[in-house]
A and B are shown apart, each in its own frame.
Chain A
């Protein structure tokens, strides 16, 4: 076991470590900007300077030489070292800003340099509140500035690509974005142009920064130089809730955070999970926030004469639904589950209709071969294909589904735009009575006879099994008309949520969708039909699922939370289908 002394305290280590990462791993801190644990180390911001020395060894005996006090003699490096790129060695002595005034001064000097050409426009900068430059300036920076001459002016509001906006004046040239496109997304779309203090990141002339992962550069930008065109000026970070969730736009199940304010999801950012997505996610997944806010089915609708739908009451919707079920033979029901919904929803739906005597639910995978990139974008367009297979929802190909429906009297479709993705056509909806349990208005809901609004991933706790067989879960981020952030211990509260009242102007009822979790709606429908069916929480459903299916034995919400998802050992059947 080797040892290293940081600020006088002894730490043990084995193997090869870079000093900065080692310090951070110990829960200690050294300020830095350009370093990123998943990318190469350019050591260009020069912020993480520390003083480093190595013990002097007697050449003959190999023993440490001691000074007059009996302490090891230390040979100090003549210059400060950037801790990010310094490998630790046995006996190394490190002084950080915590124990050395010299180091603290050097770091302060560096921050002074960084700030001289940085526009101090924090009050209008989106990064404020989550800005490494702002935070580290408060902690380690100089008070005021000695810079009394003119700042450098550079391009502002540059649309680098469809999704990313550059303010070159704010840029501190850490090159994280450039390295991201070189090393992670491998599109090489960005480089630093110009020279010296005129430097800034840019694409090649007439090139667009349309990297499918471009928005990750916004996350890793340590200042407000790169901002999401979509999110700019929308919200201050401290006004928002941050809720852990799962990307539902493809099969990878990137770990994400949903950022909400007043029950609107305003942005989606990746959440670090080494086993799934590291620090990254595709841009497409971030744009999913529209799905959670816009075009939502709110209040049930029913088809009247012709093709017109009209909103109706929950009572009427439940009554109509129940009547249709009662009037028809359960053998004539077709229950369509979906890889676009969670394990719990598929299970709850299937169980409900099994109790009624209908045959097993079926689903059609939503896979576009060749769409994936081998990184975080998958062929699979749905988050839970593996989950549907695991809980024995019958997998049918597109045309199989179509022929099933042609013979059915009642079709129940769990939120899946089968028409939109060409699995079914509007024609297929002419004959049977079609009921959509849906989150958003789609071509499928438009053609349905009854539309029941259900909660989306941003509104409920539910689990999804990704293409690699990892089960992960979401937490509710948005209130519905019937939930209350303060009563739901799983929901996070921002300052505004905590201290606001309904009379404050940032609280708006309109953003709460009039919908129910699927299981809650089925509870009510079951009550009306006199069915022995009741769940209090999606957790109850999952407990039943994990008891019933061997692959999921022993898996719980708690384990998913603690272990950032649980890797399942897939059975042969799921694996074969996987390929």
Chain B
């Protein structure tokens, strides 16, 4: 599977000019999946749609990799009250910049996917939450949504089939935490973006205490593909346990950084060397962060035979995350890299839970000390200790996301950190 990635034709962002215009999208088979479902609501009952998606095994593209259809099936039976689908377009993790491609090049695919999801879960209102910095992409999506309303794909009595679904676009003010699903719900409700304690889970009590499902933009964009071509077709794309097309966001020291669509399971080295055109300036590869800044760093020597799917990366000691890969060449100072990541999490911790609020700051301050050649060897052990004190003791996973890079970067580049500490102005202990 991994070898024939080169012949793959993009499905999420196909190379069709002006696809963001609804006429072009329709000409190229757009909204067919929606029509297929709505025209035959017996064949495509809500349950059948969910089962099809579940069987296709679309794994959440927001980072957690949870089966989307399974998530949909957690919604309770309709009781006549409002139900919500919240679409997470807050992508704020450093190294992640894929959803904006969809907003820019194929917004109707996402709208169609969201509509099918809303139909399947008997949702009447869709919220799309986009990060505040993406204001141009908000405008692009808004235009697409207006077109969809004009053509009767959104609003009351969609395509004359008796289904009413509304779609609202909101954007945040630029806080990373608002991409955490329950913090996003709080933010949507107009409150401070503090993650909620679970239980209750959003499917029971989500937006305004009503049943709510939260899906990533890219995840939903995969749904029309499944409906059009069937679950079997879909689950045969890419890696077995983690199928489908994926938007790989490649950044860092490569010749051609950017977002590339390929199936899951492309070998990491192929992505770097062939897709992204190799390391800039002919340098040697030092390390990668495979799926956004919270996923553990992998040294070049750990990458042999590793491909971009959840299982392979887990075995290698990291995670798939959002498939936003950061590539670092041999000149990269890992102390600086880690400090910069720690700085990000320190800046973005919402401050609700003690271990994260205090821990992220402490991590950064000690790393600054090491970076400024004032570190001591004991500081490395302190950092590792702090990561255990933070991990798994907070409401959401931000503390974990802050702790993992510190633990793994120090463990995997211990020499480099120790060397920096030994250069320290302080006597070596």
Contacts and interface: CB of A to CB of B under 8 A. Distances in A.
Interface of A: 41-47, 49, 78-80, 82, 85, 106, 109-110, 112-114, 116-117, 146-147, 149-150, 152, 172-173, 191-192, 194-199
Most buried by A among B352, B365, B394, B395: B352
Interface string B378-411: 0000100000010011110000000000000000
B394 A113 contact: no
B392 A196 contact: no
B214 to A, nearest CB: 20
Contact of B351 (A79, A80, A114, A173): A173
A208 to B, nearest CB: 21
B349 A196 contact: yes
Interface in B336-367: 346-355, 357-362, 365-366
Contact of A49 (B194, B359, B393): B393
A133 B352 CA distance: 17
B355 A196 contact: no
A429 to B, nearest CB: 59
B348 A196 contact: yes
Contacts of B360: 196-197
B132 to A, nearest CB: 14
A196 B399 CA distance: 11
B175 A195 contact: yes
Nearest to A178: B192
B389 A109 contact: yes
A197 B393 contact: no
Given A43-B395, A46-B353, A198-B351, 4 more contacts: A44-B194, A80-B393, A113-B389, A196-B349
B361 A196 contact: yes
Given A80-B392, A110-B355, A110-B393, A149 B350 contact: no
Nearest to B346: A196
B197 A116 contact: no
Contacts of B192: 191-192
Nearest to B361: A197
A45 to B, nearest CB: 6
Contacts of A114: 354, 358
21 contacts: A42-B352, A44-B194, A45-B354, A49-B393, A106-B389, A106-B393, A110-B354, A110-B389, A113-B389, A116-B358, A147-B362, A149-B368, A173-B352, A173-B357, A195-B175, A195-B347, A196-B346, A196-B348, A196-B360, A197-B357, A199-B351
A269 to B, nearest CB: 27
B54 interface: no
B349 A172 contact: no
Nearest to B364: A149
Contacts of A45: 353-354
Interface in B217-273: none
Given A44-B395, A146-B382, A197-B361, A85 B197 contact: yes
B354 A199 contact: no
B204 to A, nearest CB: 14
Nearest to B358: A113
Contact of B357 (A78, A112, A150, A196): A196
Q: 9 closest A-B pairs (Cβ-Cβ)?
A: A199-B351, A149-B365, A113-B358, A196-B349, A109-B389, A197-B361, A79-B392, A196-B351, A44-B352
A109 B349 CA distance: 18
Contacts of A49: 393
Nearest to A47: B354
A117 B361 contact: yes
A170 to B, nearest CB: 14
A195 B348 contact: yes
Given A110-B354, A113-B358, A197-B360, A42 B197 contact: yes
Interface residues of B, number: 31
B349 A149 contact: no
Interface of B: 175, 177, 192, 194, 197, 346-355, 357-362, 365-366, 368-369, 382, 389, 392-395
B233 to A, nearest CB: 37
A197 B346 contact: yes
Contacts of A152: 361
A173 B352 CA distance: 7
B357 A199 contact: yes
B123 to A, nearest CB: 27
A196 B361 CA distance: 8
Contacts of A47: 354
Contacts of B368: 149
A109 to B, nearest CB: 4
Most buried by A among B192, B349, B358, B360: B358
Contacts of B352: 42, 44, 173
Contacts of B361: 116-117, 152, 196-197
Nearest to A79: B392
Contacts of B197: 41-43, 82, 85
Most buried by B among A43, A173, A194, A196: A196
Most buried by A among B353, B368, B392: B353
A147 B365 CA distance: 10
B128 to A, nearest CB: 24
Nearest to A84: B197
B369 A149 contact: yes
Contacts of A195: 175, 177, 347-351
Contacts of B393: 46, 49, 79-80, 106, 109-110
A7 to B, nearest CB: 21
A468 to B, nearest CB: 33
A173 B194 CA distance: 12
Contacts of B175: 195
Contacts of B366: 149
Given A79-B393, A150-B365, A117 B358 contact: yes
B365 A46 contact: no
Nearest to A44: B352
A172 B354 contact: yes
A49 B270 CA distance: 46
A49 B350 CA distance: 20
Nearest to A106: B393
A117 B361 CA distance: 10
A46 B354 contact: yes
Nearest to A80: B393
Contacts of B353: 44-46
Contacts of A150: 365
Contacts of B369: 149
A113 B361 CA distance: 10
A150 B349 CA distance: 18
A194 B350 CA distance: 8
Nearest to A118: B358
A109 B390 CA distance: 9
A192 B346 CA distance: 17
Contacts of B395: 43-44
A79 B392 CA distance: 6
Contacts of A192: 192, 351
Contacts of A82: 197
Contacts of B358: 113-114, 116-117, 197
B355 A46 contact: yes
A196 B360 CA distance: 8
A47 B347 CA distance: 23
A112 B360 CA distance: 13
B60 to A, nearest CB: 21
A147 B346 CA distance: 16
Contact of A196 (B347, B365, B382, B394): B347
A185 to B, nearest CB: 18
Contacts of B351: 173, 192, 194-199
A369 B348 CA distance: 51
A175 to B, nearest CB: 8
Contact of A113 (B177, B354, B365): B354
B369 to A, nearest CB: 6
Most buried by A among B349, B354, B355, B360: B354
Contacts of A79: 392-393
Contacts of A43: 197, 395
